[in-house]
Amino acid sequence: MHAHVSPMLSNNRQSSTLSPFSGAYSTREYGRSGPLDEIVALGRARMVTEGTAIHRAGDAFRSVFYIKSGAAKRVLIQEDGREQILGFPMPGDIVAIEAISAGTHSTTVVALDICAIVEIPFEALEALAAERPDVARFLYQRMSAALREEHSWLAALGLFNADERLATFLLDLSQRFSARGFSAQRFMLRMTRAEIGSFLGLTLETVSRVFSRFQKLGLLNVTRREIELLDMDALYKLAHTRPTH
């Protein structure tokens, strides 16, 4: 998605041996900007196993969470029990910023893999931001970037068909991996077809079918969770975007 502005980028000379396939991956290389380090220093890291919730909708809001390593899904649960996946946070991302001011969390974030997370008490964060303009600005930036992201996905759901949505999704993942120093072509999907479908407003069968068709067309190779993008140009065309950079 064109709007995937990673606030923090690219000067990572990441060793290519560390592949997304290898499980938990570190983030030292990604996300070095002054304020972030200090913000993360407000909390202490802990591990969370696959399948456990980092926070749940309805919980009292006290903290935001920094994803240090691993993969997760952000879920909005409707009153009738249906679930909409809102995104797949990656290392360097901060989750629960939409709950600031709300009193309680509105979303649930679940680890898709073993995760290292840092719980950052919002009170401390707000206090730091009050005396450090760069920290406040960092917060505005993260929140506004999150808004722009949601806008892009809203447009994708409103305007795109299944092919376009899946192409957009794959390119978004690709760019985010690449921004973190991993291959833009080969990576591991951490989520099931059903989860991709929920995120994109499609059924798991449709996701599977589109994968198969894309493979038949030579756009990519996919087996289970491993994926290799072969024809990025075609994918970008489908996603109605140009590569960013």
> Which residues does residue 95 pair with via DSSP β-bridges, in sequence order?
65
Is the torsion defined by CA of 19, 70, 107, 130 positive or negative?
negative
Q: Is 50 in the site for a second copy (CB under 8 A)?
A: no
Cβ 108 to a second copy shortest distance, Å: 12
Q: Is 109 in the site for a second copy (CB under 8 A)?
A: no
Kindly tell me which of 69 and 198 has the beta carbon lying closer to a second copy: 198
Tokens 């080969």 map to which residue? 186
Cβ 168 to DNA shortest distance, Å: 12
Sole binder of a second copy in the list 18, 40, 146, 230 (CB under 8 A):
146
The alpha carbon of 205 is separated from its chain's Cα centroid by a whole number of angstroms, namely: 23
Residues 116-155 that bind DNA (CB under 7 A): none
Tell me phi and psi for residue 162, to 5 degrees. Answer: -60, -45
Q: Which window, 62-70, 90-98, 114-122, 203-211, contacts DNA (CB under 7 A)?
A: 203-211
Report the distance separating Cα 150 and Cα 156, nearest Å: 10
Q: What is the DSSP string of 151-212?
A: HHHHHHHHH--HHHHHHHHHHHHHHHHHHTTS-SSEEE--S-HHHHHHHHT--HHHHHHHHH
Site string for a second copy, 59-78 (x = CB under 8 A): -----------------x-x
Q: Is 240 in the site for DNA (CB under 7 A)?
A: no
Q: Which is nearest to 14 in space by CA: 26, 4, 1?
A: 26
> Which residues does residue 166 pair with via DSSP β-bridges, in sequence order?
none
- Residue type present at position 147: L
Cβ 90 to DNA shortest distance, Å: 18
Report the distance separating Cα 66 and Cα 96, nearest Å: 9
Cβ 31 to a second copy shortest distance, Å: 14
Q: Is 225 in the site for a second copy (CB under 8 A)?
A: no
Integer angstrom CA distances of residue 232 from 23, 71, 90, 170, 174: 25, 24, 22, 10, 10
Site string for DNA, 164-193 (x = CB under 7 A): ----------------------------xx
Sole binder of a second copy in the list 19, 141, 203, 221 (CB under 8 A):
141
Q: Is 194 in the site for DNA (CB under 7 A)?
A: yes
Sole binder of DNA in the list 75, 135, 202, 220 (CB under 7 A):
202
| Contacting residues for 55 by C-beta, under 8 A, at least 6 apart | 63, 65, 95, 96, 99, 105, 107, 108, 109
Q: Which residues bind DNA (CB under 7 A)?
A: 4, 161-163, 192-194, 201-209, 211-212, 222-225
Q: Which residues bind a second copy (CB under 8 A)?
A: 2-3, 5, 7, 76, 78-80, 82, 84, 86, 97-102, 106-107, 126, 129-130, 133, 136-137, 139-141, 143-148, 150-155, 157-159, 198-201, 240-242
